[in-house]
Structure 1
Amino acid sequence: MTSRPRATGEDDEITLSDEDRAATLDRLYDVALDPAGYEALLDHWESTVGPLRARVDLNAPRLLDDPRIAAHFRRATEFLDRVKVTVPTPGTTAEDLESILAPFDRVPAALLDRNNDIRAANAAARVVMQLPTQAHLGDLPIHDADREAVADTLALLFEDRAKDSAVLRVRSQRADHLIVFRLQRCVAADGTVLVLAASNEVSLPKGFCDILRQAFNLTATEADILCHLVDCRSVTDIAMDRDRSVDTIRAQIKSILAKTETHSQLELVRLALSMIDMTALTVRSATGRHDVCRGSATLAERDFHSLRAFDGRRVDYLVLGAPQGRPVLYLPLDFGLVRWPASAEACATARGLRIIVPLRPGYGGSDMVGRGVDYDTALVQDTMLVLAAEGVGHCPIIALSGDTYYAVRLARANPGFFTGIIACSGMLPLTRREQFERMDKWHRFIMAGAKYTPHLLPFMVKAGFLLAQKLGKRGFIHAVFGNSAADIATFEEREVYEAFVTGSDVALSKTHCAHEAFSRQLVAGQLTDWTSDLTALRGQVPLILMNGAQDPQVPVATYDEFRRDHDWIEFHLFEDAGQLAFFRHWRDVLDRLMPLLGD
């Protein structure tokens, strides 16, 4: 489907067509309901927004700066705070049928198999729907005229792997009463594919009307009417209950449609339903407090050290290798890869290297900065505070990928302090649109999103973090790096896997989620053109890039452009590595590091 510009006066505003906008919002709320739909949103986004990027200048874009679209992304982002992933994704085995039904204790829910037999149902379904012990689709209180539509949708979910969920509004067997079913494909403990059917015959969650009021700026009356619509009350019933005319209620519903930017009562109800199961469930995203970085298998436990920044924030950091050794600053990427493979940490100890790893604001125990504070400036100041606490007078830097930008900023702000920079999978200033378009789709979705639609980025990142929680770190890495055989092979090395999973707890764990900090970094300075800062280091600070040929973010064509644009930099390319090049070739990195240590 093509995206068409919309005329606005003398200029054309480059935005989505009405069809693409509707489809995008549909997928947006699907992800707000279940982060497993993230990749479908990603693919749709690329097919619709990708062509728009070609029509704007790289250094002055802000695509989809449409308050209607931004409002939907903001609302969806708010409701992601309330979602907790519990429904199994396709291909994931649930421990038992009860575990699948457990998150739906407040709503009638049942599991149906390919024969439309009900394999299990929760207590609410048994009572509200009066289901017998051995029940079938025909036992659900659905009007005979709509039963075939439900059966057809169930068949579609069983057969069409591209679609794993659906929302249906059908007539009840009771007069003037409707039921909304949310259907979700899942897998039982015995491997049987099932469809979970949750209905809306439910008492609305406590405080739900207030949530609707805040999210959509509704009046108390409008929120109450919307709750009645969600509860399948007819306009006539609502009018009678409120002692108002039908025309008055219809006018108020029209106002609700305008405020929620929906086009029908069905779309309105679906939007509200996508929020119901989230309102009582939360993801804890406050900055966690960790005293130790846990060890596992071959990786030793390490204590976190804590400082107080000038503004009173807590700043944590790790020290790997030799506690009294020669200092090396390590910048661990926005994934929070603060640990090295056990053999690499042991080698650092043997070589007398003290690897200092600051936890940037919003990661692990380091407090997040305020919304009005420049994130990059705070990160640089925190890093120098940590180095001062460790008594460091000068040292080299090892930086991963996009953290090359922060290494350059540190060197520029502190002349003579840093003796060299080794950028593993280094990313230099992106100055061509093609450098975004060449990235693999996962990296392009986030990086191009940060560059072209930064106001929509918080939802993209938060949904990605929730997907990682749902898939687990191994599943998420296989999804993100699936087209880089080298990265997958590196990740699956036992010590690398251990370091990656353990270290990244400062970014994502059961008690911590650094999605806000991740977003703030991307929309700060690293995707601007910082060539002048980079060039200023020429002849002052040695800069070495050690990249992998299978890097999904910096593919070889982009790497070659970096070489041509910055011929004073020392370049190394590993054919058997990707973005995780450091974890595959840390020995080469440490060998090249030694001459940079200084006296």
Structure 2
Amino acid sequence: MPPSRTPKADVAQLIETIYAVAARPERWEEIISAVGAAAAAGPAAGAALSHLPGLDDVGPETKPALGVILLSPAGGVVGWNSVGEAMFRDRLGVVESRGLRFFNPSNHEALAHARARLAESGAAQVIVKFIQARDDDPHFAYMAPISATPPEMIADIAHAGNASAALIFPALEASDHLWRTIRESFGLTPAETRLAARLKDGLTLKEAAEDLNVSLNTVRNQLRAVFEKMGLNRQSDLVRALAQLSALSSSLQPVMPSTVSATEAGALRVAPPVLIHRLADRRALAYRVYGDPTGRPCMMVHQGLGSSLLPRGSDQLARDLGLYIVCAERPGTGRSDPRLDLSFHTVAEDLVALTEALGLSRMRIVAFMNGAAFALAYAGALGDRAERLLLVSGRRSGVVPETERDRRHPMILLHRRMARSAWAVGPLYALLRRRLSRRQVEAMVRTAASAPGDGAYLRSHPAVAEFVYDYMSECLARSSKGAARELVMASDTPTLDLPDLSAPISVWFGADDPAGPPDDFLAWLGRPCKEVRILPAVGHFLPHKHWPEVMAWLAADEGD
């Protein structure tokens, strides 16, 4: 280190960079250099970073949750969660067992109209506009039939089985999965919906007109139509209403027709519901199931910063291939509760418990990228019940030294530096979670496509960014702490002890994989593989490009 540089100065630079990126997310690549400069700063720097004002990560125990009130077929109130009661009492009225008592009588009519629309349309949800008691401003919520309400949202509400519908109030955070429902509920045209989306993103009317390539007079007319249809008077009311609604729509997944072809776009909209298994210690383990319940049992182990979301069409494709695929979310990520003694082996214990609870026996296993070590531990815990194992673009655990080659691949370089600077991972992941947006993810995905094969794939499949955004959003929905702990744990575990692993192993790598040649991964694996396959003209995006082949591998008979 040059004499003019000190660890303290490097940490100060990193802190300054974090705040700069928090204000301007497009500067995120500056983090790579800052982490590299501060890599040797040590534990004291971790203490300094762990208390950055405004960047502390809010966990599920304190982060505002969705408010839920469950309604009976006759209109009475069956049950509610504490957030739903508090939000309703604060803004609208009183929750009583015989029904909702609104301070503004017009809200009773709005609720009745919403119930009628829901019954007549058969939709997965409708939007209802209430008038707030304290300021007569609009407050929006979703109403959904109980059959379309995610089970984890009502799992802890007593008497939920007697409900016919759920009234769901938004938390404070926003996402971008509401436009289809807004169009259906208020009758907005596609052009009006596009304008509303841009105003929600913070564009002025002039900027929206330029972005949409129409005149300012046109967008003014469209805005007046939006106001009339949604019962609003001001642009600020529209933006606030959309922010309220957007927090809900990623949790409410309308039923849409499946498609056989696997693709990146729209995976979240057609995904099976998230299910919750209660482990022996009462922790929640979230998972999805795809395919035929009577089919061949398989476990998919997702990548780092991933979730149980698989590409669109996976459910129908699994049915066609006779597969029953389980994909669980690791402790502290997605909707799974954290585990204090996190390790590859304790995660394997959770997966084995889920396997047994579902009544499954011999399993075929596929893992992607940083999920490789978790899958190996799971296969080892299953012993001879693990039929075979495929590691796709596998990443080894432990700290991997930087090479000159890594400097050509910014995402790999960032991962290498975070792995050896574990004290910085928590704040960096908290920053990622707080600033996560589609534009941010699109920029990161473009950066990740640094190998020739990946660049070509991304140009022909730009919607891969949408899929990455969806599964990252699910991973970080409750907290970033679980994903950060996972990375730190993996960095601190250079080897795996797997004496009971007997399943034959297949390894697939892309010829352009920016993580390096597969020799390093195979050396870390330390055991013979039944198959090592190098696929041409692809790198980091191998799981996306060759998804049908992955599914076919799960379905193939021995020797095919």
TM-score by length of structure 1 reads 0.54
Structure 2 contact 451–513 (Cα < 8 Å) conserved:
yes
Aligned pairs for 1:228-247 within 5 A: none
1:248 alignment partner in structure 2: none
1:64 alignment partner in structure 2: 41
Structure 2 contact 291–319 (Cα < 8 Å) conserved:
yes
SS of 1:302's partner is coil
1 CA distance for matches of 2:439 and 2:173?
10
1 CA distance for matches of 2:300 and 2:364?
9
2 CA distance for matches of 1:289 and 1:366?
17
For structure 1, the residue ranges without an aligned partner over 5 or more in a row are 6-14, 53-62, 87-92, 103-118, 120-186, 192-281
Structure 1 contact 326–597 (Cα < 8 Å) conserved:
no
Structure 1 contact 294–502 (Cα < 8 Å) conserved:
no
Structure 1 residues 564 and 438 mapped into 2: Cα distance closer, same or farther (>3 Å)? same
1:38 maps to amino acid: W
1 CA distance for matches of 2:34 and 2:383?
46
2:392 alignment partner in structure 1: 424
1:320 maps to amino acid: Y
2:326 alignment partner in structure 1: 356
Structure 1 residues 543 and 459 mapped into 2: Cα distance closer, same or farther (>3 Å)? same
SS of 2:367's partner is strand
Would you say 1:483 and 2:450 are equivalent positions? yes
2:289 to 290, 296, 319: 319
Post-superposition offset of 1:487: 3.4
1:542 alignment partner in structure 2: 504
Query: Kindly, what percent of the aligned residue pairs are identical?
Result: 19
Post-superposition offset of 1:467: 3.8
1:388 to 356, 378, 389: 356
1 CA distance for matches of 2:288 and 2:423?
33
1:579 maps to amino acid: H
Would you say 1:340 and 2:310 are equivalent positions? yes
Post-superposition offset of 1:24: 3.2
Would you say 1:442 and 2:411 are equivalent positions? yes
Post-superposition offset of 1:302: 1.1
Structure 1 residues 24 and 294 mapped into 2: Cα distance closer, same or farther (>3 Å)? farther
Would you say 1:576 and 2:541 are equivalent positions? no
Aligned pairs for 1:245-256 within 5 A: none
Post-superposition offset of 1:373: 3.2
Post-superposition offset of 1:525: 3.4
C-alpha RMSD of matched pairs (Å): 4.2
Structure 2 contact 276–287 (Cα < 8 Å) conserved:
yes
1:524 alignment partner in structure 2: 489
2:418 maps to amino acid: G
For structure 2, the residue ranges without an aligned partner over 5 or more in a row are 64-171, 175-195, 212-242, 260-266
2 CA distance for matches of 1:499 and 1:314?
25
Structure 1 contact 400–582 (Cα < 8 Å) conserved:
yes
2 CA distance for matches of 1:324 and 1:542?
24
Structure 1 contact 77–459 (Cα < 8 Å) conserved:
no
2:550 alignment partner in structure 1: 589
Structure 1 residues 19 and 367 mapped into 2: Cα distance closer, same or farther (>3 Å)? closer
2 CA distance for matches of 1:98 and 1:514?
23
2:439 alignment partner in structure 1: 471
Would you say 1:79 and 2:55 are equivalent positions? yes
Give the 4+ runs in structure 1 shifted more than 6 A.
82-86, 286-289
Structure 2 contact 381–500 (Cα < 8 Å) conserved:
no
Structure 1 contact 306–314 (Cα < 8 Å) conserved:
yes
Post-superposition offset of 1:37: 3.5
2:28 alignment partner in structure 1: 38
Post-superposition offset of 1:352: 0.3
1:359 maps to amino acid: E
2:519 to 537, 547, 560: 560
Structure 1 residues 494 and 294 mapped into 2: Cα distance closer, same or farther (>3 Å)? farther
TM-score by length of structure 2 reads 0.58
Structure 1 contact 419–596 (Cα < 8 Å) conserved:
no
2 CA distance for matches of 1:293 and 1:33?
34
The number of residues matched between the two structures is: 380
Structure 1 residues 362 and 307 mapped into 2: Cα distance closer, same or farther (>3 Å)? same
2 CA distance for matches of 1:431 and 1:65?
16
Structure 1 contact 468–475 (Cα < 8 Å) conserved:
no
Structure 1 contact 73–456 (Cα < 8 Å) conserved:
yes
